[in-house]
Amino acid sequence: MEMLKTLKFLTIVLLAFFVFIYAVIIFYVYFNQVGMVFQSARLPKDFQFDYQHKFEELDIESFDGVKLNGLLFKAENSKGLVFYLHGNAGTLETWGKIAKIYTNLGYDIFILDYRSFGKSEGEIENEDQLNKDISIAYKTLTKRYAENRIIITGYSIGSGFAAILASQNNPKALILQSPYYSFTELSSSKVRFFPDFLKKFSLETYEYLPKIKVPIYIFHGMQDQLIPYENSVRLSHLLKSNGHFYPLKDQEHTGMNENSDFQNQLKIILQ
C-alpha cells in the first residue's frame, strides 16, 4: 500500500515537472517568437548604400511615428512600379542587388526594410503592426504612381503581407515568390507544440487570394526545403482564370530572382 502511494506521489511530481517545463518553453517561445520569425539586422543611420544604378532613398513615417526606410530604384522610361516585400532576413544593403533585374525590364522597384531592419526604426511586435506599416508605405508610393501601374510582389515571409495588401487595394497585379498556404500551419510544422492562439503572426494567404481581383502569378522552387513546394500547389487551386502558377525546377528557397526561368516569365509579365 505504501509503495502504491509512493508511486502515485512520484507520478504526480513527475507530471508536475513536465507541465512546468512545458510552461517554461511556451513562455520562452511566446516572448521570443518575433526573433524566431524575423532575423532583423540594423544598419547605421549614416550608412551609405552603394549601388551603380539610379535610386532614391525614402524615409516614410508610419502610424506611430516610426521612420521606415526604403529604396526606390529607377528604370529608364519607366512603365510602372514593383512594390517589393522581401524575406525575413537581410536588409536593403543586400536586397537592393535584385533591383537591376526589374529595372532592366523597364520597371521601377521600391524595396522596403521592415521596422528593425536596416535603417528602419522601431521593433516588430505583431502582424497588425507590420500590415499598417506596409499599407502606409504603399499609399506613399501611390502618390507617385497610379495603382494600375503598380505590381505588388512578396518573397517568402513577404508573400503573405503582399497578398493582404493586394486584397485591400487595386494594383495591376500580384507576384508571389515562395509563398506559404498558411503561416499558422507552416509555423506549426516547425514548432509543433506551440498553440496557434498564442501566435503573433497567422498570415493565412489562402484566405486572401480569393478576394484579389487582379492577375496573380505564383512562383515556387520545387526543391524548396524551407517553405515546401506543396504550399503553392494548394494555393494554385484557389486561382481564378487570370491566375498563373509557375513551378521552378531545381530551384531552392533562396536565389529565385536570379533564376533564368523566373526571369523569362517575369519578362513576359512585365511586358
pLDDT band for 1, please (50, 70, 90 cuts): low
pLDDT band for 25, please (50, 70, 90 cuts): low
pLDDT of residue 249: 96
Q: E strands of 182-234, at which residues?
A: 216-221
Q: Give the C-alpha separation, 206 to 236, whole Å.
A: 10
Burial 11-44 (b: 16+ CB within 10 A, else e): eeeeeeeeeeeeeeeeeebeeebeeebbebeebe
For residue 73, the surrounding DSSP H or E stretch is strand 67-73
pLDDT of residue 251: 97
pLDDT of residue 9: 64
The answer to whether the pTM exceeds 0.85 is yes
Q: Give the C-alpha separation, 201 to 208, whole Å.
A: 15
Residues written for the chain: 271
Q: What is the mean pLDDT of residues 89-102?
A: 97
Coil, helix or strand for 112?
Answer: strand
> Are the beta carbons of 55 and 71 closer than 8 angstroms?
yes
Q: Give the C-alpha separation, 86 to 160, whole Å.
A: 11
Instruction: Give 74: exposed, middle or buried? Use CB within 10 Å, 0-12, 13-18, 19+.
Output: middle
pLDDT in tens, 36-71: 788 999 999 999 999 988 999 999 999 999 999 999
- Higher-pLDDT residue of 46, 198: 46
Quickly list DSSP for 23-41. HHHHHHHHHHHHHHH-B--
pLDDT over 90 (residue 22):
no
Q: How many CB atoms lie within 10 A of CB 127?
A: 18
Quickly list DSSP for 74-102. --TT---EEEEE--SB--HHHHGGGHHHH
- Higher-pLDDT residue of 165, 2: 165
Q: What is the mean pLDDT of residues 227-242?
A: 96
Q: What is the mean pLDDT of residues 246-253?
A: 97
Q: Give the C-alpha separation, 179 to 214, whole Å.
A: 17
Q: What is the mean pLDDT of residues 1-13?
A: 71
Q: Name which of 115, 21, 26, 120 is nearest 69 in CA terms.
A: 120
Domain ranges of the chain: 38-270
pLDDT of residue 222: 97
State the Cα angle at 202 between 200 and 204, rounded to 5°: 165
- Higher-pLDDT residue of 168, 13: 168
> Are the beta carbons of 71 and 147 closer than 8 angstroms?
no
Average pLDDT in the chain: 91
How many CA atoms, within 13 angstroms, populate the side-chain half-sphere of residue 241? 0
pLDDT of residue 192: 76
pLDDT of residue 108: 98
How many CA atoms, within 13 angstroms, populate the side-chain half-sphere of residue 45? 4
Which residue is listed with cell 503581407?
A: 161
Q: Give the C-alpha separation, 75 to 171, whole Å.
A: 19
pLDDT of residue 129: 98
| CATH superfamily of this structure's domain 38-270 | Alpha/Beta hydrolase fold, catalytic domain (3.40.50.1820)
